[in-house]
Structure formats: C-alpha cells, structure tokens
Structure 1
C-alpha cells in the first residue's frame, strides 16, 4: 500500500497537497489505540477485533505512505530493508534468548520518559551530532521495547505475559 504513495504520481501529489488525509488517519489511529487498549471486551470479541485491527493497519499505511511520499524511492527502500532485518533479528533473539525482558517494564518506562524529555530539550539545541546520538539512543531503546513486547506475547516460562 505504501508503494502506491511512492510510485503513483497522482497519489504522491495528492498526499503532499492535502494534509487532511494524514491528519484524519492520525486521529483515527489514536482513537483506535485508545479503544483497543482500554476496552478489553472489544479487543477480545470476534470479528470486531479483526475489523479494528484492519482499520488500524490501513490508517498506519496511510500515515507511512504520506510520510514516504516526501522522500526518494531509494531512501524509503533502504529504510524498509533495514527495518525488516532489524525486526526479524530482534524477534529471533526474543524467541531464543534466556534473558527475561518482561521484568524490565519499569526501567523501559523511565528510559522512554527521559528520552522524551531529552527530545523536548533538543528543540532548543541545534547540533547535528547531538541529534544523531539522540536517534541512536532511540533506536536502541525501541529495539529493547520490541524484544520486551515480543516476549510479553510469547508468554511461556517468562515472569509476565499478556493475553489478547
């Protein structure tokens, strides 16, 4: 779906000139996240859960497609390739590791909070090196989050797990 925003000139132009598409997809995504996080009965009832998941996926595709339309094809493809390799590697690591990341929720929350505060401070700091360090720390932090979430979904002999 994202390829449509990159390769189709009319869609690319439309998404660049009409920010309402992006904003509406963002609002719907936010509402769906709140509904899915707060309403366990909705999250567990078939087929409503699948419909909401498909709607969430479509909105995320529109968001990513709109952002991708502002970049060159090569840049988007390199980013997609790197993301695929990193996510696959971290998922395989989460499956086979003996370390239990599910006990790190408090540490991860504090790190994310500090990361967010540092991000607000970066509004006033004009340094490319500091921004690069911030991006690297963010990639590391959210890589640990990916392993944490994967182990939470796996359950098994880990200390904590999540149900659908």
Structure 2
C-alpha cells in the first residue's frame, strides 16, 4: 500500500544524480496498525500509567471496571469485618488498645506495601505477587482503621460508616454521569494536598501543647473534602472517557487508590463527628 509513497525517483541533470525525495509520512491507519499505546505500552519504557484517553474498545474498559470494583468490594468487606470485630467485641478492643505497638507495626507494613505498589510497576503487574501485596496492604490498613474506630462510640462508628457509604456512592454516580472533567484538575488537588500536609505538620506541634477542638474539626472536614475529590478524580481515571485514563493493566493501582480514598473519608468523618468512648 505504501509502495508508491516510498518509491524514490532518480532524475539526472547534466549527468549528475538529483537528491532523493524524503519518504512521505505514514497514514493514521499505518501508524496505529500495531496497536494503541494506551493498551500495552507501545511507548518507550513499557508505556505510561497515566495517558491521554485513547481507548477504542469499550469491552476492555468494562472488564477493567468490573475487575477493579470486584476487588474493591472484597477489600471493603474485609475492612468492615475487622472494624466490626474491633468495635463490638470488648475483649478484642481492650487487647488492641492495651498493645499499641501492633498499630505501628501495621503502619510500617501499610507504608512499605503502599509505596511498593504505587511506585514499582513490576510488583504491581506481576501475578500473583500483586494480589498478595494488595492483601497485605488491605489487612494492615484495616487493622489501623479498626483500632481508630475502637476508640469511638459504637453508634458513632455505625453512623460514620453509613455516611461514608452514601457519600462514596453519590460521588461515584456523579463521576460517571457528569461531563465535567475532574482529571484535568491535578493542580488544584496538588495545592490542596500540600496545604493539608502543612496543616497536619502544624497540628502535630500545636495539639500536644493544648487540644483545640475547633482546629481539629476544621482539619478533619477539609480532609474529608480532599479525599472526596480524590475519589471523584480516581473514579474518572478508571472510567477512561475523560482527558486522562489509567491503562487497563493498572487494575491494582486503580483499586489501591479508590480503596485508600474511601478509608480516609471514613477516618476523617469519624474524627469530625464521632463521639469517643468514656
């Protein structure tokens, strides 16, 4: 098909050979004949995790979304079970509160697995190690969430679980239905995140000198808003019909992000409206 485009015409002018004409650029069909870069990493370095939207096969996208939400439901059920045990079972609650060292162990495991799954594409894509690491991550974060919930009244925990479920469901539905492209707002989320980070560092030094309820409540409210925005952002990355989309190979990364967003939303709601146990 490109024979005519790539042919070289040799013309002589007073016995000398003329310069060859440069080949014509390939057509769109020829350039994309070997597959879309959004699928399998045709870009150098095995592709980019965050690419401009270029999905043409809706079936791949649907399978990708179903896989992410299936894993997410299992994660949330495990977390709900651990939170329920830590909240309703008095012997377990007393044990974990009497041994805070386990919290710091789970935090270290959470931090290491989160960085590994977020930054290393090899472990994140290699089956079954990606699922094993995701399971360890889920158990560690569930333990931390359950221990946090154990310090609050049972009714407060149940109420915050319900509020979190309603908020997450509403944000998910809105993200699927709205035409507004949240994936193009990375700058706003980055500035908001840096503000929260600086505010958290200030609170870490202020709170030991004296508890300020209204300041803690403001920080918790802003944290809930921030991670609600992150949930909408990550949901639209999962959908793939906006400016940016996650590669279908990154189902572990997508699940990791959405699960973390939901857990942080619950934690901030608990700090904002929860009543501590006597």
Relative to the length of structure 2, the TM-score reads 0.55
Question: Which residue number in structure 1 is paired with residue 97 of structure 2?
Answer: 16
Question: Which residue number in structure 2 is paired with residue 124 of structure 1?
Answer: 206
Q: For 1:159, which of 235, 243, 251 is the aligned residue?
A: 243
Describe the SS at the equivalent of 1:77. Answer: helix
Q: For 2:164, which of 83, 86, 99 is the aligned residue?
A: 83
1:52-63 map, 5 Å: 52-63=133-144
Shift of 1:148: 0.5
Q: Let me know the Cα RMSD of the aligned residues.
A: 1.7
Shift of 1:62: 0.7
Shift of 1:133: 3.2
Shift of 1:38: 1.6
Structure 2, unpaired ranges of 5+:
1-81, 251-278
Question: Which residue number in structure 1 is paired with residue 129 of structure 2?
Answer: 48
Structure 1, unpaired ranges of 5+:
none
Relative to the length of structure 1, the TM-score reads 0.91
Question: Which residue number in structure 2 is paired with residue 102 of structure 1?
Answer: 183
Q: How many residues align?
A: 163
Out of 113-122 and 3-12, give the one that drifted further. Answer: 113-122
**Any idea what the Cα deviations from partners look like across 1:3-22, whole Å, max 9, x if unmatched?**
11112222111100001111
Max radius of gyration: which structure?
2
Out of 96-105 and 121-130, give the one that drifted further. Answer: 121-130
The separation in 1 between residues aligned to 2:231 and 2:166, in whole angstroms, is 13
Larger relative helix fraction = 1
The separation in 1 between residues aligned to 2:122 and 2:200, in whole angstroms, is 36
Describe the SS at the equivalent of 1:161. Answer: strand
Shift of 1:141: 1.9
Question: Which residue number in structure 1 is paired with residue 87 of structure 2?
Answer: 6
Question: Which residue number in structure 2 is paired with residue 149 of structure 1?
Answer: 234
Out of 24-33 and 116-125, give the one that drifted further. Answer: 116-125
Is 1:33 the counterpart of 2:118? The answer is no
